[in-house]
């Protein structure tokens, strides 16, 4: 009688940066119908991950989604608002400098300077 050894091969799927980017893209496609059905804008926050899991915060806000703007959508001298919970949505800012990743703005009321991501700005 011949004994055959059976080996169980475990294939472990590792989560890496590329998989997280793919997950974010697929998630956005999957929630488009939910956004239409419920009239909300769904966004996925920063994703933290290790080899076994990923974690993130999902937010659904009533209303249409604001378009994500890039640095190319702005020019020096534009008057913009900053869409952030710690900054009043009535404060206006003027664009002073456009860098590769961030934009430097000046508060029109008190002349304070801030450097913000273009995705937080709205015209």
pLDDT digits (tens, 9 = 90+) for 77-90: 999 999 888 999 89
Q: What is the pTM assigned to this prediction?
A: 0.56
pLDDT digits (tens, 9 = 90+) for 26-48: 888 888 888 888 889 888 888 89
The helix (H) or strand (E) run that includes residue 55 is strand 54-55
The helix (H) or strand (E) run that includes residue 94 is strand 93-98
């Amino acid at each position: 009688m011949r004994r055959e050894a059976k080996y169980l091969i475990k294939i472990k799927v590792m989560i890496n940066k590329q998989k997280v980017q793919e997950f974010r893209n697929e998630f956005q496609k999957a929630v488009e119908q939910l956004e239409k059905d419920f009239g909300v804008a769904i966004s996925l926050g920063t994703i933290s991950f290790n080899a076994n899991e990923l974690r993130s915060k999902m937010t659904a806000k009533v209303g249409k989604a604001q378009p994500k703007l890039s640095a190319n959508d702005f020019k020096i001298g534009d008057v913009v608002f900053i869409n952030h919970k710690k900054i009043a949505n009535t404060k206006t800012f003027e664009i002073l400098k456009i860098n590769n990743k961030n934009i430097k703005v000046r508060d029109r009321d008190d002349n304070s300077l801030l450097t913000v991501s273009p995705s937080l700005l709205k015209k």
